[in-house]
Amino acid sequence: MKTNDKNFSWILWLAVWLMFAGMSGVALAQQHQPNIILILTDDQGYGDVGRHGNPILQTPNLDRLHDESMRFTDFHVSPTCAPTRSALLSGRHDFKNGVTHTILERERMNLRTVTIAQVLKSAGYTTGIFGKWHLGDEIPYRPNRRGFDEMFIHGCGGIGQTYPGTCGDAPGNSNFDPVILHNNKFEKTQGYCTDVFFGQAMQWMTAVKGKKPFFAYITPNAPHAPLDVPEKYAQLYASKLPNDKTGRDTAKFFGMIHNIDENVGNLLAQLKAQNLERNTLVIFMNDNGGTVGVHVWNAGMRGSKNTPYLGGTRAMSFWRWPGKWTPANVPSLTQHVDVFPTLSELAGAKLPSKVKAQVEGRSLVPLLQNPAAEGPDRMIVRHIGRWPKGANPNDYKYTQVSVRNTRWHLVNDSKENVKRWVLYDLQNDFSEQKDVAAQHPDIVKMLEEEYDRWWTSVMPMLVNENVPQPAVNIYHEQYWKQYRGAGPNNVPPGTKLPTK
Protein backbone atom coordinates (compact mmCIF):
# COMPACT_ATOMS: atom_id res chain seq x y z
CA MET A 1 0.00 0.00 0.00
CA LYS A 2 1.36 3.36 -1.03
CA THR A 3 1.58 6.12 1.54
CA ASN A 4 1.53 9.75 0.50
CA ASP A 5 4.82 11.36 1.63
CA LYS A 6 2.98 14.35 2.95
CA ASN A 7 0.55 12.19 4.96
CA PHE A 8 3.39 9.99 6.21
CA SER A 9 5.30 13.03 7.43
CA TRP A 10 2.23 14.28 9.23
CA ILE A 11 1.60 10.88 10.87
CA LEU A 12 5.26 10.63 11.92
CA TRP A 13 5.16 14.15 13.36
CA LEU A 14 1.95 13.30 15.24
CA ALA A 15 3.47 10.09 16.64
CA VAL A 16 6.58 11.94 17.82
CA TRP A 17 4.44 14.71 19.30
CA LEU A 18 2.29 12.20 21.17
CA MET A 19 5.37 10.42 22.49
CA PHE A 20 6.87 13.63 23.81
CA ALA A 21 3.51 14.79 25.08
CA GLY A 22 3.26 11.57 27.05
CA MET A 23 6.76 12.04 28.39
CA SER A 24 5.95 15.64 29.22
CA GLY A 25 2.81 14.47 30.99
CA VAL A 26 4.88 12.19 33.20
CA ALA A 27 7.38 14.96 33.84
CA LEU A 28 4.55 17.38 34.54
CA ALA A 29 2.98 14.95 37.02
CA GLN A 30 6.31 14.60 38.82
CA GLN A 31 6.70 18.38 38.89
CA HIS A 32 3.42 18.62 40.77
CA GLN A 33 4.61 16.08 43.34
CA PRO A 34 6.64 17.96 45.93
CA ASN A 35 9.80 16.62 47.43
CA ILE A 36 8.97 16.01 51.09
CA ILE A 37 11.30 16.46 54.05
CA LEU A 38 9.86 15.48 57.42
CA ILE A 39 12.04 16.39 60.42
CA LEU A 40 11.02 14.82 63.74
CA THR A 41 13.07 15.70 66.81
CA ASP A 42 13.24 13.54 69.92
CA ASP A 43 12.08 14.90 73.32
CA GLN A 44 12.06 18.54 72.25
CA GLY A 45 8.90 20.18 73.60
CA TYR A 46 6.47 22.70 72.17
CA GLY A 47 8.09 25.40 74.31
CA ASP A 48 11.63 24.55 73.23
CA VAL A 49 11.87 27.07 70.41
CA GLY A 50 12.40 30.81 70.46
CA ARG A 51 9.28 31.72 68.50
CA HIS A 52 7.07 30.00 71.08
CA GLY A 53 8.32 32.34 73.77
CA ASN A 54 11.31 30.53 75.25
CA PRO A 55 13.24 33.23 77.15
CA ILE A 56 16.66 31.55 76.92
CA LEU A 57 16.87 29.25 73.94
CA GLN A 58 17.98 30.84 70.66
CA THR A 59 16.68 29.17 67.50
CA PRO A 60 16.91 31.67 64.63
CA ASN A 61 16.53 29.07 61.88
CA LEU A 62 13.55 27.35 63.48
CA ASP A 63 12.06 30.80 64.07
CA ARG A 64 12.48 31.53 60.39
CA LEU A 65 10.95 28.17 59.49
CA HIS A 66 8.03 29.00 61.79
CA ASP A 67 7.55 32.38 60.12
CA GLU A 68 7.59 30.89 56.61
CA SER A 69 5.24 27.99 57.41
CA MET A 70 1.66 27.02 57.94
CA ARG A 71 1.64 26.49 61.71
CA PHE A 72 -0.79 24.09 63.38
CA THR A 73 -1.17 25.60 66.84
CA ASP A 74 -3.35 22.86 68.39
CA PHE A 75 -1.49 19.86 66.99
CA HIS A 76 -1.05 16.74 69.12
CA VAL A 77 1.12 13.64 69.18
CA SER A 78 1.39 10.72 71.61
CA PRO A 79 2.92 11.17 75.09
CA THR A 80 6.07 9.17 74.21
CA CYS A 81 8.28 8.57 71.20
CA ALA A 82 7.72 5.13 69.61
CA PRO A 83 3.92 5.50 69.79
CA THR A 84 4.09 8.85 67.98
CA ARG A 85 6.34 7.44 65.28
CA SER A 86 4.00 4.54 64.58
CA ALA A 87 0.94 6.82 64.41
CA LEU A 88 2.74 9.29 62.17
CA LEU A 89 3.84 6.64 59.68
CA SER A 90 0.57 4.68 59.68
CA GLY A 91 -2.20 7.26 60.00
CA ARG A 92 -3.79 5.41 62.91
CA HIS A 93 -3.53 5.27 66.70
CA ASP A 94 -0.34 3.72 68.05
CA PHE A 95 -2.19 1.01 70.01
CA LYS A 96 -3.75 -0.18 66.74
CA ASN A 97 -0.20 -0.78 65.50
CA GLY A 98 0.54 -2.83 68.62
CA VAL A 99 2.79 -0.08 70.02
CA THR A 100 2.04 0.37 73.73
CA HIS A 101 5.55 1.03 75.05
CA THR A 102 9.01 2.10 73.93
CA ILE A 103 10.77 -1.18 74.91
CA LEU A 104 10.13 -4.87 75.70
CA GLU A 105 9.00 -5.78 72.14
CA ARG A 106 6.06 -3.42 72.54
CA GLU A 107 7.76 -0.74 70.42
CA ARG A 108 7.50 -2.94 67.31
CA MET A 109 5.06 -1.73 64.65
CA ASN A 110 2.72 -4.46 63.45
CA LEU A 111 4.11 -6.00 60.26
CA ARG A 112 0.68 -5.71 58.65
CA THR A 113 0.73 -1.93 59.03
CA VAL A 114 1.24 -0.06 55.75
CA THR A 115 3.58 2.94 56.10
CA ILE A 116 3.50 6.32 54.39
CA ALA A 117 6.89 5.43 52.89
CA GLN A 118 5.30 2.46 51.11
CA VAL A 119 2.46 4.65 49.87
CA LEU A 120 4.85 7.32 48.57
CA LYS A 121 6.96 4.68 46.81
CA SER A 122 3.83 3.48 45.05
CA ALA A 123 3.34 7.08 43.84
CA GLY A 124 6.83 7.24 42.33
CA TYR A 125 8.91 8.58 45.24
CA THR A 126 12.30 7.44 46.42
CA THR A 127 12.47 7.31 50.22
CA GLY A 128 15.10 7.59 52.93
CA ILE A 129 15.32 7.62 56.73
CA PHE A 130 18.17 9.25 58.65
CA GLY A 131 18.31 8.91 62.43
CA LYS A 132 15.95 7.24 64.86
CA TRP A 133 13.52 4.48 63.82
CA HIS A 134 12.38 2.92 67.14
CA LEU A 135 9.66 0.68 65.69
CA GLY A 136 11.50 -2.62 65.88
CA ASP A 137 15.19 -3.52 65.63
CA GLU A 138 14.65 -7.05 64.30
CA ILE A 139 15.23 -7.43 60.56
CA PRO A 140 11.58 -7.74 59.40
CA TYR A 141 10.64 -4.58 61.32
CA ARG A 142 13.42 -2.35 60.02
CA PRO A 143 12.65 0.61 57.77
CA ASN A 144 14.19 -0.95 54.66
CA ARG A 145 11.46 -3.60 54.95
CA ARG A 146 8.78 -0.95 55.53
CA GLY A 147 9.12 1.21 52.43
CA PHE A 148 12.44 3.02 52.80
CA ASP A 149 14.98 2.73 49.98
CA GLU A 150 17.77 4.32 52.02
CA MET A 151 18.29 3.36 55.68
CA PHE A 152 20.73 5.21 57.94
CA ILE A 153 19.69 4.59 61.54
CA HIS A 154 20.71 3.86 65.11
CA GLY A 155 18.94 1.19 67.14
CA CYS A 156 16.67 1.28 70.18
CA GLY A 157 15.18 4.59 71.37
CA GLY A 158 18.48 6.38 71.96
CA ILE A 159 22.07 6.05 70.83
CA GLY A 160 23.86 3.55 73.05
CA GLN A 161 20.69 2.27 74.74
CA THR A 162 19.91 -1.43 75.09
CA TYR A 163 17.05 -3.12 76.96
CA PRO A 164 16.14 -6.75 77.60
CA GLY A 165 14.71 -8.30 74.46
CA THR A 166 15.00 -7.05 70.90
CA CYS A 167 15.44 -3.32 71.51
CA GLY A 168 19.08 -2.30 71.43
CA ASP A 169 21.65 -0.07 69.73
CA ALA A 170 25.21 -0.94 68.72
CA PRO A 171 27.22 -1.83 71.86
CA GLY A 172 29.05 1.10 73.44
CA ASN A 173 27.65 3.58 70.96
CA SER A 174 27.92 7.34 71.54
CA ASN A 175 26.55 10.62 70.23
CA PHE A 176 30.08 11.33 69.04
CA ASP A 177 31.29 9.35 65.99
CA PRO A 178 28.31 6.96 66.27
CA VAL A 179 28.14 3.54 64.66
CA ILE A 180 25.20 3.63 62.24
CA LEU A 181 23.33 0.84 60.46
CA HIS A 182 23.51 1.93 56.82
CA ASN A 183 21.51 -0.30 54.48
CA ASN A 184 22.10 -3.39 56.66
CA LYS A 185 25.79 -2.75 57.26
CA PHE A 186 27.25 -1.01 60.28
CA GLU A 187 29.43 2.02 59.59
CA LYS A 188 31.62 4.00 61.98
CA THR A 189 30.90 7.66 61.28
CA GLN A 190 32.78 10.80 62.23
CA GLY A 191 31.22 13.81 63.90
CA TYR A 192 28.37 14.68 66.21
CA CYS A 193 25.24 12.54 65.74
CA THR A 194 22.87 15.31 64.59
CA ASP A 195 25.43 16.65 62.12
CA VAL A 196 25.94 13.09 60.84
CA PHE A 197 22.22 12.47 60.27
CA PHE A 198 21.52 15.78 58.55
CA GLY A 199 24.74 15.52 56.54
CA GLN A 200 23.88 12.05 55.26
CA ALA A 201 20.33 13.14 54.44
CA MET A 202 21.53 16.16 52.46
CA GLN A 203 24.10 14.04 50.61
CA TRP A 204 21.39 11.53 49.68
CA MET A 205 18.96 14.24 48.53
CA THR A 206 21.64 15.74 46.31
CA ALA A 207 22.29 12.31 44.75
CA VAL A 208 18.63 11.51 44.00
CA LYS A 209 17.26 14.94 43.08
CA GLY A 210 15.71 15.25 39.65
CA LYS A 211 15.37 11.49 39.15
CA LYS A 212 12.25 11.03 41.24
CA PRO A 213 10.53 13.12 43.88
CA PHE A 214 12.05 12.22 47.26
CA PHE A 215 10.77 11.67 50.78
CA ALA A 216 13.47 12.31 53.40
CA TYR A 217 12.49 11.35 56.96
CA ILE A 218 15.12 13.03 59.17
CA THR A 219 14.83 11.87 62.77
CA PRO A 220 17.70 13.01 65.00
CA ASN A 221 17.96 11.36 68.42
CA ALA A 222 18.65 14.81 69.88
CA PRO A 223 17.80 16.33 72.25
CA HIS A 224 16.98 12.97 73.89
CA ALA A 225 19.29 11.78 76.67
CA PRO A 226 22.15 11.08 77.01
CA LEU A 227 22.71 14.84 77.07
CA ASP A 228 26.03 14.68 75.25
CA VAL A 229 26.78 17.65 73.00
CA PRO A 230 29.94 19.51 71.89
CA GLU A 231 30.91 21.79 74.77
CA LYS A 232 30.67 24.95 72.68
CA TYR A 233 26.89 24.48 72.41
CA ALA A 234 26.34 23.89 76.13
CA GLN A 235 28.47 26.95 76.92
CA LEU A 236 26.06 29.15 74.98
CA TYR A 237 23.53 28.63 77.80
CA ALA A 238 25.61 27.74 80.86
CA SER A 239 25.84 31.32 82.15
CA LYS A 240 22.07 31.82 81.74
CA LEU A 241 21.13 28.89 84.00
CA PRO A 242 21.91 27.90 87.61
CA ASN A 243 25.19 26.09 88.19
CA ASP A 244 23.56 22.93 89.53
CA LYS A 245 22.73 19.59 87.92
CA THR A 246 19.39 20.83 86.59
CA GLY A 247 20.99 23.95 85.15
CA ARG A 248 23.91 22.07 83.59
CA ASP A 249 21.59 19.46 82.08
CA THR A 250 19.35 22.18 80.67
CA ALA A 251 22.34 23.95 79.13
CA LYS A 252 23.30 20.72 77.35
CA PHE A 253 19.70 20.11 76.30
CA PHE A 254 19.37 23.62 74.87
CA GLY A 255 22.78 23.20 73.25
CA MET A 256 21.53 20.08 71.46
CA ILE A 257 18.55 22.03 70.13
CA HIS A 258 20.84 24.89 69.10
CA ASN A 259 22.79 22.37 67.04
CA ILE A 260 19.55 21.07 65.47
CA ASP A 261 18.70 24.68 64.62
CA GLU A 262 22.01 25.11 62.81
CA ASN A 263 21.40 21.95 60.82
CA VAL A 264 17.91 23.11 59.83
CA GLY A 265 19.48 26.36 58.64
CA ASN A 266 22.04 24.44 56.57
CA LEU A 267 19.27 22.31 55.07
CA LEU A 268 17.20 25.33 54.04
CA ALA A 269 20.28 26.94 52.52
CA GLN A 270 21.06 23.80 50.51
CA LEU A 271 17.52 23.62 49.17
CA LYS A 272 17.84 27.18 47.94
CA ALA A 273 21.31 26.65 46.47
CA GLN A 274 20.17 23.56 44.57
CA ASN A 275 17.02 25.24 43.26
CA LEU A 276 14.83 22.79 45.18
CA GLU A 277 13.20 25.25 47.54
CA ARG A 278 9.98 25.95 45.64
CA ASN A 279 9.21 22.31 44.98
CA THR A 280 10.05 20.96 48.42
CA LEU A 281 7.72 20.71 51.39
CA VAL A 282 9.60 20.90 54.70
CA ILE A 283 7.74 19.74 57.81
CA PHE A 284 9.15 20.18 61.31
CA MET A 285 7.69 18.37 64.33
CA ASN A 286 8.62 17.09 67.78
CA ASP A 287 7.58 13.65 68.99
CA ASN A 288 6.08 14.19 72.45
CA GLY A 289 5.67 16.72 75.24
CA GLY A 290 8.57 18.63 76.70
CA THR A 291 11.24 17.14 78.97
CA VAL A 292 14.38 18.79 80.32
CA GLY A 293 13.39 22.32 79.31
CA VAL A 294 9.87 22.50 80.73
CA HIS A 295 11.01 24.13 83.98
CA VAL A 296 12.28 27.05 81.90
CA TRP A 297 9.30 27.39 79.56
CA ASN A 298 6.32 25.17 78.78
CA ALA A 299 4.16 27.67 76.86
CA GLY A 300 1.70 27.92 79.74
CA MET A 301 0.74 24.23 79.62
CA ARG A 302 0.35 21.65 82.34
CA GLY A 303 2.26 18.39 82.08
CA SER A 304 5.20 17.05 80.09
CA LYS A 305 6.28 13.91 78.28
CA ASN A 306 4.63 10.77 79.62
CA THR A 307 1.59 12.60 81.02
CA PRO A 308 -1.97 12.81 79.63
CA TYR A 309 -2.19 16.60 79.89
CA LEU A 310 -1.77 18.98 76.95
CA GLY A 311 1.86 19.50 77.93
CA GLY A 312 2.42 15.81 77.24
CA THR A 313 0.98 15.79 73.73
CA ARG A 314 0.99 19.25 72.14
CA ALA A 315 3.67 19.55 69.48
CA MET A 316 5.13 21.90 66.92
CA SER A 317 3.90 21.32 63.38
CA PHE A 318 5.42 23.69 60.80
CA TRP A 319 4.68 23.11 57.09
CA ARG A 320 6.76 25.19 54.67
CA TRP A 321 6.23 25.16 50.90
CA PRO A 322 7.39 28.49 49.43
CA GLY A 323 5.08 29.90 46.79
CA LYS A 324 2.41 27.30 47.49
CA TRP A 325 0.93 28.36 50.83
CA THR A 326 0.84 31.74 52.54
CA PRO A 327 2.27 31.41 56.08
CA ALA A 328 -0.41 31.52 58.77
CA ASN A 329 -1.57 29.98 62.04
CA VAL A 330 -4.02 27.09 61.73
CA PRO A 331 -6.03 26.82 64.98
CA SER A 332 -8.02 23.63 64.20
CA LEU A 333 -7.52 20.56 66.39
CA THR A 334 -5.11 18.30 64.47
CA GLN A 335 -2.83 15.37 65.23
CA HIS A 336 -0.05 13.08 64.03
CA VAL A 337 -2.37 10.60 62.29
CA ASP A 338 -3.32 13.40 59.88
CA VAL A 339 0.16 13.45 58.32
CA PHE A 340 -0.33 10.16 56.42
CA PRO A 341 -3.48 11.15 54.50
CA THR A 342 -2.10 14.65 53.90
CA LEU A 343 1.13 13.45 52.31
CA SER A 344 -0.78 10.81 50.35
CA GLU A 345 -3.02 13.50 48.87
CA LEU A 346 -0.18 15.89 48.09
CA ALA A 347 1.71 13.09 46.34
CA GLY A 348 -1.34 12.05 44.32
CA ALA A 349 -1.14 8.53 45.75
CA LYS A 350 -4.05 6.17 45.17
CA LEU A 351 -4.81 4.30 48.39
CA PRO A 352 -6.11 0.72 48.14
CA SER A 353 -9.23 -0.01 50.16
CA LYS A 354 -7.18 -1.87 52.79
CA VAL A 355 -5.03 1.20 53.39
CA LYS A 356 -8.03 3.52 53.42
CA ALA A 357 -9.53 1.33 56.15
CA GLN A 358 -6.29 1.60 58.16
CA VAL A 359 -6.14 5.40 58.13
CA GLU A 360 -7.97 7.25 60.91
CA GLY A 361 -6.52 10.68 60.26
CA ARG A 362 -7.87 13.54 58.19
CA SER A 363 -6.10 15.22 55.31
CA LEU A 364 -4.83 18.65 56.31
CA VAL A 365 -4.89 19.89 52.71
CA PRO A 366 -8.12 21.90 53.16
CA LEU A 367 -6.57 23.65 56.17
CA LEU A 368 -3.28 24.23 54.38
CA GLN A 369 -5.22 25.89 51.57
CA ASN A 370 -7.52 27.80 53.91
CA PRO A 371 -6.43 27.99 57.55
CA ALA A 372 -9.85 29.34 58.58
CA ALA A 373 -11.68 26.31 57.19
CA GLU A 374 -13.76 24.39 59.69
CA GLY A 375 -14.53 20.69 59.67
CA PRO A 376 -16.59 18.51 62.00
CA ASP A 377 -15.43 18.18 65.60
CA ARG A 378 -13.30 15.18 66.46
CA MET A 379 -12.30 13.00 69.41
CA ILE A 380 -8.67 12.35 70.34
CA VAL A 381 -7.74 9.60 72.81
CA ARG A 382 -4.37 9.26 74.52
CA HIS A 383 -3.10 6.52 76.84
CA ILE A 384 0.39 6.41 78.32
CA GLY A 385 0.54 2.60 78.02
CA ARG A 386 3.78 1.29 79.54
CA TRP A 387 2.12 -1.21 81.88
CA PRO A 388 4.37 -4.06 83.10
CA LYS A 389 5.30 -6.79 80.64
CA GLY A 390 2.87 -9.68 80.80
CA ALA A 391 0.20 -7.66 82.61
CA ASN A 392 -3.44 -7.66 81.54
CA PRO A 393 -4.02 -4.32 79.75
CA ASN A 394 -7.54 -4.17 81.19
CA ASP A 395 -5.96 -3.74 84.61
CA TYR A 396 -4.54 -0.43 83.33
CA LYS A 397 -7.52 0.92 81.41
CA TYR A 398 -7.72 4.07 83.56
CA THR A 399 -4.00 4.60 84.14
CA GLN A 400 -2.98 8.01 82.79
CA VAL A 401 -5.45 8.50 79.97
CA SER A 402 -7.32 11.35 78.31
CA VAL A 403 -10.01 11.98 75.71
CA ARG A 404 -10.82 15.35 74.19
CA ASN A 405 -12.60 17.26 71.50
CA THR A 406 -12.02 20.85 70.43
CA ARG A 407 -13.30 22.36 73.67
CA TRP A 408 -13.25 19.72 76.40
CA HIS A 409 -10.45 17.59 77.84
CA LEU A 410 -11.30 14.65 80.10
CA VAL A 411 -8.23 13.44 82.00
CA ASN A 412 -7.50 10.60 84.40
CA ASP A 413 -3.98 10.96 85.79
CA SER A 414 -4.30 7.98 88.16
CA LYS A 415 -1.30 5.66 88.31
CA GLU A 416 -3.31 3.04 90.22
CA ASN A 417 -6.03 2.39 87.61
CA VAL A 418 -8.61 4.26 89.67
CA LYS A 419 -11.35 5.89 87.62
CA ARG A 420 -11.03 9.50 88.70
CA TRP A 421 -11.94 11.78 85.79
CA VAL A 422 -11.33 15.52 85.80
CA LEU A 423 -12.65 17.82 83.10
CA TYR A 424 -11.08 20.97 81.69
CA ASP A 425 -12.74 23.61 79.55
CA LEU A 426 -9.91 24.36 77.12
CA GLN A 427 -11.76 27.30 75.66
CA ASN A 428 -11.42 29.12 78.99
CA ASP A 429 -8.66 27.17 80.75
CA PHE A 430 -5.95 26.03 78.35
CA SER A 431 -3.53 25.66 81.27
CA GLU A 432 -5.80 22.97 82.78
CA GLN A 433 -6.04 24.31 86.30
CA LYS A 434 -9.78 24.12 87.10
CA ASP A 435 -11.75 20.87 87.22
CA VAL A 436 -15.31 21.50 85.98
CA ALA A 437 -16.51 17.88 85.91
CA ALA A 438 -19.17 18.52 88.56
CA GLN A 439 -20.67 21.35 86.52
CA HIS A 440 -20.79 19.33 83.26
CA PRO A 441 -21.73 15.68 83.99
CA ASP A 442 -23.21 15.34 80.50
CA ILE A 443 -19.85 16.18 78.91
CA VAL A 444 -18.05 13.73 81.21
CA LYS A 445 -20.53 11.00 80.27
CA MET A 446 -20.21 11.71 76.56
CA LEU A 447 -16.39 11.67 76.57
CA GLU A 448 -16.19 8.62 78.82
CA GLU A 449 -18.48 6.67 76.51
CA GLU A 450 -16.22 7.60 73.61
CA TYR A 451 -13.23 6.36 75.61
CA ASP A 452 -14.95 3.06 76.42
CA ARG A 453 -15.71 2.46 72.73
CA TRP A 454 -12.11 3.21 71.82
CA TRP A 455 -10.70 0.90 74.49
CA THR A 456 -12.85 -1.99 73.28
CA SER A 457 -11.76 -1.36 69.68
CA VAL A 458 -8.02 -1.51 70.37
CA MET A 459 -7.90 -4.60 72.59
CA PRO A 460 -7.74 -7.12 69.71
CA MET A 461 -4.91 -5.15 68.08
CA LEU A 462 -2.35 -5.28 70.92
CA VAL A 463 -0.25 -7.88 69.14
CA ASN A 464 3.01 -7.39 71.06
CA GLU A 465 1.86 -7.88 74.64
CA ASN A 466 2.97 -11.48 75.16
CA VAL A 467 5.86 -11.77 72.73
CA PRO A 468 8.71 -13.77 74.34
CA GLN A 469 12.08 -12.10 74.72
CA PRO A 470 14.95 -13.67 72.74
CA ALA A 471 18.07 -14.82 74.52
CA VAL A 472 20.29 -12.78 72.18
CA ASN A 473 19.69 -9.23 70.96
CA ILE A 474 19.67 -9.56 67.18
CA TYR A 475 21.09 -6.05 66.63
CA HIS A 476 24.07 -6.91 68.82
CA GLU A 477 24.42 -10.29 67.16
CA GLN A 478 24.62 -8.68 63.71
CA TYR A 479 27.09 -6.09 65.00
CA TRP A 480 29.51 -8.61 66.47
CA LYS A 481 29.18 -10.93 63.48
CA GLN A 482 30.17 -8.11 61.14
CA TYR A 483 33.17 -6.92 63.14
CA ARG A 484 34.40 -10.19 64.61
CA GLY A 485 33.95 -11.93 61.27
CA ALA A 486 35.89 -9.23 59.45
CA GLY A 487 38.83 -9.39 61.82
CA PRO A 488 40.06 -7.11 64.64
CA ASN A 489 41.50 -4.48 62.29
CA ASN A 490 37.99 -3.55 61.18
CA VAL A 491 36.51 -3.11 64.64
CA PRO A 492 35.47 0.54 65.18
CA PRO A 493 38.06 2.52 67.17
CA GLY A 494 37.47 2.39 70.91
CA THR A 495 35.17 -0.64 70.71
CA LYS A 496 35.65 -3.24 73.41
CA LEU A 497 35.17 -6.76 72.07
CA PRO A 498 33.19 -9.08 74.34
CA THR A 499 34.68 -12.27 75.66
CA LYS A 500 33.00 -15.56 74.85
Q: Is the pLDDT of residue 497 over 90?
A: no
Exposure string over 449-486, b if 16+ CB within 10 A, otherwise e: ebbeebbeebeebbbbbeeeeeeebebbebbbebbeee
At residue 475, φ and ψ (nearest 5 deg) are: -65, -45
Q: Is the pLDDT of residue 9 over 50?
A: no
Domain spans in the chain, listed from the N-terminal domain onward: 32-369, 380-461
Q: Is residue 314 a contact partner of residue 301, using CB atoms and an 8 Å limit?
A: yes
pLDDT at 6: 42
Q: Is residue 320 a contact partner of residue 282, using CB atoms and an 8 Å limit?
A: yes
pLDDT at 251: 98
pLDDT, mean of residues 200-215: 97
**What average pLDDT does the chain have?**
92
The span from the CA of 50 to the CA of 222, in Å, is: 17
Q: Is residue 344 a contact partner of residue 351, using CB atoms and an 8 Å limit?
A: yes
Q: How many CB atoms lie within 10 A of CB 40?
A: 24
Pick among 3.40.720.10, 1.10.300.10, 3.40.50.150, 3.30.70.260: CATH of 32-369: 3.40.720.10
Q: Is residue 115 a contact partner of residue 149, using CB atoms and an 8 Å limit?
A: no
Q: Quote the percentage of the chain above a pLDDT of 70.
A: 91
pLDDT, mean of residues 45-69: 98
Residues 6+ apart with CB under 8 A from 238: 247, 248, 251
pLDDT at 225: 95
Which of 26-40, 85-99, 283-297 has the lowest average pLDDT? 26-40
Is 27 or 397 the better-scoring residue by pLDDT?
A: 397
Pick among 3.30.479.10, 3.30.1120.10, 3.60.21.10, 1.10.3720.10: CATH of 380-461: 3.30.1120.10
pLDDT at 31: 54
pLDDT at 374: 86
Nearest of 180, 176, 177 to residue 143 by alpha carbon:
180
pLDDT band at 24 (very low <50, low <70, confident <90, very high): very low
Amino acid identity for residue 118 in this structure: Q
pLDDT at 461: 98
Q: Is the pLDDT of residue 77 over 70?
A: yes
CA–CA–CA angle 466, 470, 170 (5° rounding) = 120
pLDDT at 1: 41
Report how far apart the first and last C-alpha atoms of the chain are (Å, whole number). Answer: 83
pLDDT, mean of residues 309-336: 97
pLDDT, mean of residues 51-59: 98
Q: Mean pLDDT: which of 29-43, 119-133, 458-472 is highest?
A: 119-133
pLDDT band at 485 (very low <50, low <70, confident <90, very high): low
pLDDT at 32: 83
pLDDT, mean of residues 423-447: 98
The span from the CA of 12 to the CA of 4, in Å, is: 12
Q: Quote the percentage of the chain above a pLDDT of 90.
A: 88
**Can you give the C-alpha Rg of the chain in angstroms?**
24
Q: Are strands 401-404 and 408-412 parallel, antiparallel or unpaired?
A: antiparallel
Which of 10-24, 54-68, 296-310 has the lowest average pLDDT? 10-24
Three-class DSSP labels, the chain:
CCCCHHHHHHHHHHHHHHHHHHHHHHHHHHHHCCEEEEEEECCCCCCCCHHHCCCCCCCHHHHHHHHCCEEEEEEECCCCHHHHHHHHHHCCCHHHHCCCCCCCCCCCCCCCCCCHHHHHHHCCCEEEEEEECCCCCCHHHCHHHCCCCEEEEECCCCCCCECCCCCECCCCCCCECCEEEECCEEEECCCEHHHHHHHHHHHHHHHHCCCCCEEEEEECCCCCCCCCCCHHHHHHHHCCCCCCHHHHHHHHHHHHHHHHHHHHHHHHHHHHHCCCHHHEEEEEEECCCCCCCCCCCCCCCCCCCCCCCHHHHECCEEEECCCCCCCEEEEEEEEHHHHHHHHHHHHCCCCCHHHHHHCCCCCCHHHHHCCCCCCCCCCEEEECCCCCCCCCHHHHCCCCEEEECCCEEEEECCCCCCCCCEEEECCCCCCCCCCCCCCCHHHHHHHHHHHHHHHHHHHHHCCCCCCCCCCCCHHHHHHHHHHHHHCHHHCCCCCCCCCC
The span from the CA of 76 to the CA of 311, in Å, is: 10
pLDDT in tens, 347-406: 999 999 999 999 999 999 999 999 999 889 999 999 999 999 999 999 999 999 999 999
